[in-house]
Amino acid sequence: MNRLLLLCIILSLIFSCKETDEFIEADVIIYGGPILTMVDDKKLIDGVAVTDGVISAVGDSATLSKYKGSATKYKNLEGRTLLPGFIDAHSHVGIAMRTIGWADLNAPPVGNIKNISQLISKLQEHKLENGLGQNVWVLGHGYDPDQLEERRHPSLSELTEAFPDQPVMILHVSGHMISVNQKALDKAGITIETENPEGGVIVRDRISKKPTGLLQEKAMYMILPQLPVPEVKEMVGLFDKVQDHYASYGITTAQDGLCDYKTFKFLQGLAGQDKLKLDIEVLASYIEVDAYKKEDLLTFDQNGLRVTGMKIVSDGSPQGKTAYFRKPYLTNVPGCVHECRGVPTISPADLTKVLAENYKNKLQTYIHANGDGAIDLVLDTHEYVTDSMGVADDKQRTVIIHSQFVGQDQLERYEKYKFVPSFFSNHAYFWGDVHIDNLGEERASFLSPMNTAGEMGITYTNHTDYTITPIDQMFLLWTAVNRTTRSGDVIGSNERISPWQGLKAITINSAYQHRVEDKKGSIEVGKLADFVLLDKNPLDVEPDDIRHIKVVETIKEGETIYNAAKL
């Protein structure tokens, strides 16, 4: 045998033995309950060892005993279920920080507002409780005209009569429109002569043409810059509340799904002080992307804060009737009298420019698109950029956020281009009945078509879009598995998925969406020790009982960041 070859074999054996014999002491060994790995070919394991915040071993007791040292602790699950920490595919940390101090105008079961009288009373209580004086903004969020007894938006006159001396702004539950009083219109300089901004609608009385106080899509931005900005000290306290809230639902990685520059700088400051309990994936707002570029922030990644990519908004809300469709809505649309198909919020030219630049620079792109009309715009633009302009997307996992009413033909194009749809199954419960009224049963039943997408081999995620719906991940899983509406009907029964598929959508698939599947999303050696402990196994309970499962503990890199027993 060649002496050099023999020497190589000997050295290889020496080093492989050394690697095998190396002892890694576990900080903790977890056992005593179902451990769901979220790995298809190895769903359940007996235990997991953690060292320095990383998973150092998985397997049976014999395997794990090799990692026991003098300082190793044992954690007995006592029959409860361990999973990888939930990864938020889409929500709004920044909006949550701001609205957590506003009046909660949500309808049941999230809030308790059932009619306009209660809504106004809630705003008045908020004013008194917070000592809001003359000319100080009164703010509320979460109102839903479809769940109010009157089935309409609060009028300009109602809000003005209740608050003649203070500007009032209330945010629609979709986040895509606002209702204001006369004082707010005056502050923004909005009159009968004011023209609609591109991509927005100032809803007007059909006879007098005066503004009604309802501002849709980009018309909101005529008001939003007028709102007061909290001091940094106050923001820190609000952010801590938001982090704790996310952690209480088992989330170890959150997202700020449309992060303005000022909010990012605030989060960057906290990250620099190592004050993030959660990892936060930031989507830079394409409107303010130049500010990010100026400081070379589009590749920022420090102490749990990472700029994941850029967010583009292509249309509005289906329940707000501003989502952009191929066919018209079947019910009356505020601000529209003919061929009411919704509001595209970006032009084809602008979308082409942004996509071409992002693909060229390998910046992951997230695009909000609810209606099939908006999805056509996205797909056609993608094809033009990649085919006609010759700019490769480099398989960068373009994400279509919501993909709420994607068509079968469009899913085929998703599969072709390896798009990742991030679905929003909570719509089935909160607005399934509304969608049937607005779109008809056939169109409405294909909302968030997870089962069809999965059968086509498309990797999809699921999200709450918090604060639009609660951040509760077990409720999100319940809506994906059951698709039950508020009225108790099932919408799109063929699109229900199994609990296992639903869990993958909020763990390993979400890690894939964010391009961090090598670090998170499953319980495997070498990944971060991010876990959530549940009081019951979602795979074993009745499908309708999934929503009642509680988070017992949330663990980030081996450290407990939420413990229900210590509240």
| 422 burial via Cβ count (<10 Å: 0-12, 13-18, 19+) | buried
Short-list 81, 28, 84, 80, CA closest to 56: 28
Q: Cis (ω within 30 of 0) for the bond into 109?
A: yes
Does this model's pTM top 0.75?
yes
Q: How far apart are CA 385 and CA 8, in angstroms?
A: 51
* Alpha carbon distance 445, 428 (integer Å): 9
* CATH code, residues 15-79: 2.30.40.10
Q: Which two tokens stand for residue 261?
A: 């520059």
Topology of domain 232-566, CATH: TIM Barrel (3.20.20)
Q: Which CATH number fits domain 107-172+176-226: 3.40.50.10440, 1.10.287.110, 3.10.310.70, 3.60.40.10?
A: 3.10.310.70
Q: What's the full length of the chain, in residues? A: 567
Q: Which residues contact 41 (CB under 8 A, 6 or more apart)?
A: none
- With b meaning 16 or more CB within 10 Å and e meaning fewer, what string describes 74-88? ebebeebbbbbbbbb
The domain ranges of the chain are: 15-79, 107-172+176-226, 232-566
Q: What are phi and psi of 150, to 5 degrees?
A: -80, -15
Task: Tell me, yes or no, if the two domains 15-79 and 107-172+176-226 fold the same way.
Answer: no
Question: β-pairing, 200-204 with 177-180?
Answer: unpaired
Nearest to 170 by CA among 140, 147, 144: 140
Q: Measuring CA to CA, which residue among 178, 174, 173 is closest to residue 203?
A: 178
Task: Give me the tens of pLDDT residue by residue for the chain, a chain 567 residues long.
Answer: 444 444 444 344 344 433 445 778 999 999 999 999 999 999 999 999 999 999 999 999 899 999 999 999 999 999 999 999 999 999 999 999 999 999 999 999 999 999 999 999 999 999 999 999 888 999 999 999 999 999 999 999 999 999 999 999 999 999 999 999 999 999 999 999 999 999 999 999 989 999 999 999 999 999 998 898 888 889 999 999 999 999 999 999 999 999 999 999 999 999 999 999 999 999 999 999 999 999 999 999 999 999 999 999 999 999 999 999 999 999 999 989 899 999 999 999 999 999 999 999 999 999 999 999 999 999 999 999 999 888 887 778 999 999 999 999 999 999 999 999 999 999 999 999 999 999 999 999 999 999 999 999 999 999 999 999 999 999 999 999 999 999 999 999 999 999 999 999 999 999 999 999 999 999 999 999 999 999 999 999 999 999 999 999 999 999 999 999 987
**Torsion sign across C-alpha atoms 497, 500, 504, 506:** positive
What one-character DSSP code corresponds to residue 101? T
